[in-house]
Amino acid sequence: MVDVQGTSLTDHERDFLRAPSIGAVILFSRNFESKTQVKNLILEIKSLRSPSLLVAVDQEGGRVQRFRDGFFPLPPVQKFGIRYDVSPEEALSLAKSAGRIMASELADVGIDFSFAPVLDQANDDSAVIGDRSFHYSATVVTELANAFIDGMNSTGMSATGKHFPGHGGVTGDSHLMKPIDNRTIEELQNSDLIPYQALASKLGGVMTAHVLFPQINDSIPTFSPYWIKQILRQRIGFDGLIFSDDLSMKGAHDAGTPLQRTGLALEAGCDMALICNDPINAESVAKALSHISTKPARLEAMRLKPNLLANEDEIGQMQDRLMSIS
């Protein structure tokens, strides 16, 4: 998975995106000016290949919402957790509505999936997660994420849980460093892993974390067959698409060059490696790995399958309810 630089494709990017080892494109705020513009950009990306490249975005809500003008300002999901402590039933309904609104609006412009929901537990000391988490309790995270996923699925959009096995025990930001979590596997099984164990059959994708758990394994999960094959695939039983987190992040840097990082992620069991905001290296890696392609069935499972999208009246009613907690 790679990114592009602007609001339309250059001739060079059109050629680059035809590389057989590229399976998807992720869009960022810099790629968005308006609904019409981004819809045309997505159509252009999808016209390059058959079957077409998948197109994704981070549209969690709160501070992580790449498309804004013309899109509903989704609340940070922590708001649902706060409401859950007062009224669980209302919070679950609101979370489902948020998932449905988000997916309906993205489907309308041609996005296949959003990297959501965040399954990490809340941690007051974590600047990178913060209000992106539903709750401090892994059980409540599971319930609210389940409702959010139901909202996404109702439009035909697959959900991607992140960041496996959990970012809830560290304060550092893996964009800037490699955080270290000294908990044991038993501690994680009773906390951060609970949402993955409960929701494995409902998730289309899972994204790995660039967090080191030295009491458990000597590699970050992104590069670890133990975490990906033994824990996520075998013990938890997840059979969907496994994404690496962005290999350009500092948390992955000590594993070598971008090509070496990509190779390690794929060998560990990731189906798709992300290289973002580094076009020169993304191109060289794509060229070097031109003989590699992801599992077609897993990739196709992430493609948008539009079901009954929310109409304007339904969206308006859900937005009014969500505004009460924004």
Q: What is the set of active-site residues?
A: 175, 245
Question: What is d(CA 8, CA 258) in angstroms, rounded to the nearest whole number?
Answer: 26
Q: How do strand 205-208 and strand 160-164 relate by DSSP bridges? A: parallel
Nearest by Cα to 36 from 101, 113, 109? 109
DSSP state letters, 177-229 = S--B----HHHHHTTTTHHHHHHTTT-SEEEE---B-TTT-SS-GGG-HIIII
Q: Do residues 102 and 61 touch, judged by C-beta distance below 8 A?
A: yes
Q: Do residues 318 and 97 touch, judged by C-beta distance below 8 A?
A: yes
Question: What is d(CA 151, CA 154) in angstroms, rounded to the nearest whole number?
Answer: 5
Question: What is d(CA 106, CA 234) in angstroms, rounded to the nearest whole number?
Answer: 33
Question: What is d(CA 37, CA 282) in angstroms, rounded to the nearest whole number?
Answer: 25
Axis crossing angle, helix 258-268 with helix 279-288, rounded to the nearest 10? 50
| CA 153 to the chain's CA centroid | 15
Helices (H), the chain: 11-16, 35-46, 78-84, 88-109, 138-153, 185-189, 194-199, 225, 258-268, 279-288, 296-301, 312-323
